[in-house]
């Protein structure tokens, strides 16, 4: 049995759809209590753990950095220590926000981390805690997660298209939209390989291809959904948010393919499946 932290997040829900996991939600374990997270692992005694739970309210984290750091930093560290004690692997989902978001080339694993907002800092604390735990682990950094479940950019664009015929969308932030279903599949492949080969322990990148701007992503959403919408590209400076957003979310995912045989998923194909799930297209 694989134990999953998270129940209502996009990746956690996709893991449950695939099956073969036991998912723990807020009613089962309090992520603000790292000791409880460790205790849950010891109690269930799984063959592996996937942490798909996180504090993901990026803007709110600017005012709640302590809470974000407990959930995204201290809890994963406690999970990893428990996994080390039991001799089982952990897959922990992280983010491109641990980088500074500058430049225009894909971030490599060896690039320096320099988060620019509270959310990114909290996720980096989690990465450090997992690495220092002594556990066999895979930290899987991903970006721009979308699915038919939960709240995300695809569903926001579709909702706005119900009442508008034109939108301004940021065009100078570039990254790889990543279907949650593909992340879930990758997590399961990785964790099963870690069980067989602990030398694969380490940090990896996984995002959808090709890299694209939010404006171009929105344009493709409307095109596939068959909805008429004028998308006007705007710079980030014209769409201010409490938390600074990275302009560059590109990630080099070569190691994930080389070590685990997992290629970057085509997000356009994933988008089609999402729209089918939402019954927007048949």
Residues with catalytic function:
119
Q: What is the maximum alpha-carbon separation in the chain? A: 56
β-partners of residue 91 are 50, 138
Instruction: Supply 45's token pair.
Output: 């005694």
For tokens 């291809």, name the residue.
209
Cα 31 off chain centre by: 17
β-partners of residue 249 are 175
Q: What is the rounded CA–CA span in Å between residue 125 and residue 116? A: 13
Cβ contact 66:118 at 8 Å: no
Cβ contact 59:117 at 8 Å: no
Residue 154 has phi, psi (to 5 degrees) of -60, -50
Helices (H) and strands (E) in the chain, counts: 10, 13
What Rg do the C-alpha atoms of the chain give, in angstroms? 18
CA atoms within 13 A on the CB side of 13: 12
138-160 as b/e: b if 16+ CB within 10 A: bbbbbbbbbbbbbebbbbebbee
Cβ contact 86:120 at 8 Å: no
């Amino acid at each position: 049995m694989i134990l999953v932290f998270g129940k209502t997040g996009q990746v956690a829900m996709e893991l449950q759809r695939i099956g073969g996991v036991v998912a723990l939600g807020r009613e089962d374990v309090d992520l603000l209590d790292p000791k409880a997270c460790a205790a849950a692992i010891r109690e269930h005694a799984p063959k592996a753990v996937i942490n798909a739970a996180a504090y993901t309210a990026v803007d709110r984290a600017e005012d709640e950095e302590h809470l974000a750091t407990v959930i995204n930093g201290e809890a994963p560290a406690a999970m990893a220590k428990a996994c080390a004690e039991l001799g089982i692997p952990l897959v922990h989902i992280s983010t491109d926000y641990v980088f500074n978001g500058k430049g225009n080339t894909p971030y490599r694993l060896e690039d320096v981390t320099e988060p620019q907002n509270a959310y990114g800092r909290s996720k980096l604390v989690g990465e450090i805690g997992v690495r220092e735990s002594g556990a066999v682990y895979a930290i899987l950094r991903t970006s721009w997660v979308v699915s038919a479940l939960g709240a995300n950019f695809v569903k926001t664009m579709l909702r706005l298209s119900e009442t508008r015929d034109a939108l301004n969308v940021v065009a100078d932030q570039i990254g790889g939209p990543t279907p949650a279903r593909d992340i879930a599949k990758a997590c399961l492949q990785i964790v099963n390989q870690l069980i067989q080969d602990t030398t694969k322990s380490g940090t990896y990148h996984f995002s959808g291809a090709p890299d694209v701007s939010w404006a171009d992503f929105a344009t493709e959403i409307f095109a596939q959904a068959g909805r008429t919408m004028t998308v006007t590209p705007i710079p980030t400076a014209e769409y201010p948010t409490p938390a600074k957003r990275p302009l560059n979310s590109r990630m080099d995912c070569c190691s994930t393919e080389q070590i685990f045989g997992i290629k970057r998923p085509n997000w356009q194909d994933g988008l089609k499946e999402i729209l089918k799930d939402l019954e927007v297209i048949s």
